[in-house]
């Protein structure tokens, strides 16, 4: 058995051993066990956590609550950190959704919300946080209508104490993990814009909390194009995203690999990656032009170049985001050129480590640009400007030896994908180089 396997076995066995001991402990002893379990969770990587966050674990917690062997207070204390770890390590599976505990929490949230008198607001927030963090998008409209207003009320606290801001960070993280679940505009738009405006004025939220607020609202673009105007003109998403990317790029230690980072460094890296993922959504669904896109593309390219050696997941997501930008007719090809997006994708295509998926995305980037140039030929009022952009693109591709690049990555694709790959090459060469 390798050292790595021994470490994995030791960590998971120790977790399971500690967890099994809790049923025989009193409430105070359980709190100490939970502290130990939380420390273990923080040390575990994603694969180790997936081994212990199982349906069986959640069912055991449900039985312990039923038998009163596990106080609800302690269960929430434990589950909130499990949910936080799942969000931070991007663990998305159905373990909690399929458990008995899921049904218990659903019932408790609804019953607490329906109370006419004596409603425990703090308990309701805790239940909503645990339930939403662990549910992997599977939240009914009824639960959304309860959880979203409840969590937004929790994050509206203006106190700047460390404890309060930690609570706010968790609540915003929970909201951001709701993904693309449908949420009625009247449940969130006014409140979330006020939270963002307050942060822009006072800068009292953590970096992760602020990113989470934006992620929640940008995810709603899929269902509600009206909020485009608020995002662009009222709370200035492009400007804020550009600034946050620049600041976080300076904070991350790019020489360290993820497993070498401290907890705080890993948090900064994850926050940056979440921003890039949010931009991928934004570029796909936004429907307004903005003169600040050039600066935003510059920052994404800056992140790509900083990340490409030791943080491949981030650099890959930068390429995906830029690819999405080429699909949106509100993003100008000229702005992509000025922002260095074309250079970054060409750089990626020339890297020896480029894999089939990224090579395909890179080709798709240029295929989309080809179509966009054709679109501008049909719709662009300033013909001279369109022709100048096309000439700049041609010069860039010829300068970098684009034809040689696409030929050199031919062997990356397997037989099944080679036909699609060849079609993309034909499209790109014909519409850009031969048009």
Each residue's pLDDT tens digit, 16-57: 999 999 988 999 999 999 999 999 998 888 889 999 999 999
CB neighbours of 69 closer than 8 A, spacing ≥ 6? 23
Q: Where are the alpha helices (DSSP H) in 22-54?
A: 27-43, 46-52
Q: What separation, in Å, do the N-terminal and C-terminal C-alpha atoms of the chain show? A: 59
Q: What is the pTM of this model?
A: 0.88
Tokens of 403: 């034809």
Which pLDDT belongs to residue 372?
83
90-146 pLDDT, tens per residue?
888 889 999 999 999 999 999 999 998 999 999 999 999 999 999 866 788 899 999
Question: Rounded distance, CA 326 to CA 114, Å?
Answer: 48
Quote the pLDDT of residue 2. Answer: 43
Separation CA 273–CA 294 (nearest Å)? 20
Note whether residue 407 is domain-resident. Answer: yes
How does DSSP classify residue 159?
-
- For the chain, what's the residue count? 435
What are the helix (H) ranges across 257-382?
A: 263-285, 293-307, 312-327, 333-338, 341-350, 356-379
Q: Is residue 252 part of a domain?
A: yes
Across all residues in the chain, what is the average pLDDT?
Answer: 86
Q: State the pLDDT at residue 377.
A: 64
CA–CA gap between residue 218 and residue 231 (Å, rounded): 8
The answer as to whether 45 is a domain residue is: no
Number of separate domains in the chain: 1
All residues at 6 or more sequence positions from 420 whose CB lies less than 8 Å from its CB, including other chains: 360
User: Maximum CA pair distance of the chain?
Assistant: 79
Rounded distance, CA 318 to CA 303, Å?
8
Residue 118 lies in a domain: no
Residue 219 maps to a domain: no
The tokens 């709190």 sit on which residue? Answer: 31
CA distance 122 to 213: 21
Confidence of residue 397 (pLDDT cuts 50, 70, 90): confident
Tokens 């449908």 correspond to 182
Q: What is the pLDDT of residues 139-167, one digit of tens each?
A: 888 999 999 999 999 998 767 788 888 89
Proportion of the chain above pLDDT 90, given as a percent: 55
CB neighbour class for 123 (10 Å; exposed up to 12, middle 13-18, buried from 19): middle
Looking up residue 324, the CATH number of its domain turns out to be 1.25.10.10
> How far is the C-alpha of 122 from the C-alpha of 276, rounded, in Å?
33
> Model confidence over 171-219: pLDDT tens digits?
999 999 987 677 888 889 899 999 999 999 999 899 999 999 999 999 9
- Give every CB contact of residue 162 below 8 A, 6+ residues apart in sequence: none
Q: Is residue 271 part of a domain?
A: yes
40 within some domain: no
Range of the domain at 279: 236-435
The C-alpha R_g of the chain, in whole angstroms, comes to 24
Higher pLDDT, 349 or 386: 349
Residues with Cβ within 8 Å of residue 152, at least 6 apart in sequence: 171, 175, 187, 188, 191, 192, 195
Cα distance between residue 133 and residue 116, in whole Å: 27
Both structure tokens of 431? 């519409």
Residues 6+ apart with CB under 8 A from 219: 176, 178, 179, 180, 281
- Whether 136 maps to a domain, the answer reads no
- Residue 1: the pLDDT is 40
Of the listed ranges 94-98, 142-146, 343-347, 384-388, the least confidently predicted one is 384-388
Q: How many CA atoms lie within 13 A of 237 on its CB side?
A: 28
- Phi, psi (degrees; rounded to nearest 5) at 271: -60, -40
pLDDT tens digits, one per residue of 44-97: 888 899 999 999 999 999 999 999 999 999 999 999 999 999 998 888 888 999
């Amino acid at each position: 058995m390798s050292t790595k396997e021994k470490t994995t076995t030791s960590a998971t066995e120790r977790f399971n051993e500690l967890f099994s001991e809790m049923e025989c402990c009193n409430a105070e002893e359980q709190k100490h066990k939970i502290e130990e379990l939380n420390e273990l969770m923080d040390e575990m990587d994603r694969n180790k956590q997936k081994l212990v966050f199982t349906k069986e674990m959640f069912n055991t917690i449900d039985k312990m609550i039923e038998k009163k062997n596990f106080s609800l207070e302690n269960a929430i204390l434990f589950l909130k950190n499990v949910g936080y770890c799942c969000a931070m390590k991007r663990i998305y599976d159905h373990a909690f959704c399929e458990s008995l505990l899921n049904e218990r929490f659903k019932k408790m949230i609804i019953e607490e919300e329906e109370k006419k008198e004596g409603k425990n607001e703090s308990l309701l927030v805790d239940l909503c946080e645990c339930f939403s963090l662990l549910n992997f998008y599977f939240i009914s409209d009824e639960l959304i209508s309860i959880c979203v207003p409840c969590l937004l009320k929790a994050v509206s606290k203006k106190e700047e104490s460390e404890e309060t801001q930690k609570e706010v960070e968790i609540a915003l993280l929970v909201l951001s993990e709701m993904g693309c679940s449908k949420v009625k505009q009247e449940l969130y738009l006014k409140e979330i814009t006020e939270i963002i405006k307050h942060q822009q004025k006072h800068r009292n939220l953590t970096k992760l909390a602020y990113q989470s607020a934006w992620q929640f609202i940008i995810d709603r673009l899929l269902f509600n194009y009206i909020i485009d105007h608020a995002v662009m003109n009222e709370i200035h998403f492009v400007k804020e995203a550009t600034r946050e990317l620049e600041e976080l790029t300076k904070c991350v230690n790019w020489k360290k690999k993820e497993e070498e980072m401290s907890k705080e460094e890993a948090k900064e890296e994850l926050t940056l990656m979440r921003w890039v993922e949010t931009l991928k959504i934004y570029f796909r669904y936004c429907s307004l032009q903005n003169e600040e896109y050039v600066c935003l593309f510059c920052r994404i390219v800056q992140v790509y170049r900083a990340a490409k050696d030791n943080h491949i997941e981030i650099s890959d997501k930068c390429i995906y985001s830029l690819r999405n930008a080429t699909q949106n007719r509100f993003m100008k090809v000229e702005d992509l050129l000025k922002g260095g997006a074309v250079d970054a994708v060409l750089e990626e295509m020339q890297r020896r480590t480029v894999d089939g998926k990224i090579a395909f995305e890179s080709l798709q980037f240029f295929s989309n640009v080809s179509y966009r140039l054709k679109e501008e030929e049909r719709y662009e009022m300033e013909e001279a400007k369109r022709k100048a952009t096309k000439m700049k693109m041609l010069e860039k591709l010829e300068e970098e030896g684009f034809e040689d690049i696409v030929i050199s990555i031919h062997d990356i694709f397997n037989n099944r994908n080679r036909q699609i790959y060849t079609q993309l090459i034909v499209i790109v060469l014909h519409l850009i180089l031969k048009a």
